[in-house]
Amino acid sequence: MSSENGKRFLETDAGGLNFEATELTLGLPGEPRVTSDGGAKLGSKRGFSETVDLKLGDNSQEVKLGHSLQEAAKSPVSKTQVVGWPPVRGFAKRGKKSCKYVKVAVDGAPYLRKVDLEIYNSYQQLLTSLEDMFSCFTIRNYLNEKKTDQVNGIEYMPTYEDKDGDWMLVGDVPWQMFVESCKRLRLMKSSEAVGLGLTTGPKYSSTN
């Protein structure tokens, strides 16, 4: 099955059934639905029998599932958030109380600060505010590469700890998703980060 430019095609071979075309995937938005190897990929569903031990009763009518179950379907949906799911309008308004204070640590500073993420609407606003708070430092801002050194020329990379305990670079995911999952912030000295090979910023629009 061809996958030119990530488009999805339905090729009908002479008399052939096109299994790959009917393969259900739960990919993240923007991901192409087909890969050239056509094999099992992240987000595709695996055979039902592979994932579950079918212990049917005596009258075991074999449950013949035409499609596969995704391994990830067993784990919470939060791992693979699908666009428009769950189908609840305005859930953000219904959600937990609007107030999300997280600690902000800056390498080299003797004390931490706290910011309420809910009062910002975008990464730009957050980073600007952090710069005001820690005015002697310059925060490396991928959204605006024109930022130049100010006082002492030390750049910082904004990173955060997410719900799973992993340290992530700020800016990769949509703003709301970031607010949901961020537990604490750390402004890491760029010099430390260079060794990690973090040279390119996240690709994402500053209109967020």
Q: How far apart are CA 11 and CA 49, in angstroms?
A: 28
| C-alpha closest to that of 187 among 67, 102, 116 | 102
Least distance between another protein and beta carbon 6 (Å): 8
91 is a contact residue toward another protein (CB under 8 A): yes
Nearer to another protein, 52 or 194 (CB): 52
Q: Which of 13, 16, 58, 96 binds another protein (CB under 8 A)?
A: 96
Nearer to another protein, 68 or 138 (CB): 68
Within 10 angstroms of residue 29's Cβ, the number of other Cβ atoms is 8
Contact 157, 179 (CB under 8 A): no
Nearer to another protein, 81 or 129 (CB): 81
* AA letter at 208: N
42 is a contact residue toward another protein (CB under 8 A): no
99 is a contact residue toward another protein (CB under 8 A): no
Query: Greatest CA separation found in the chain?
Result: 77
21 is a contact residue toward another protein (CB under 8 A): yes
| C-alpha closest to that of 147 among 162, 161, 157, 159 | 157
95 is a contact residue toward another protein (CB under 8 A): yes
Contact 168, 183 (CB under 8 A): no
Residues that bind another protein (CB under 8 A): 7-11, 21-22, 24, 26, 30, 33, 52, 54, 63, 65-67, 69-70, 73, 76-78, 81-91, 93-97, 180
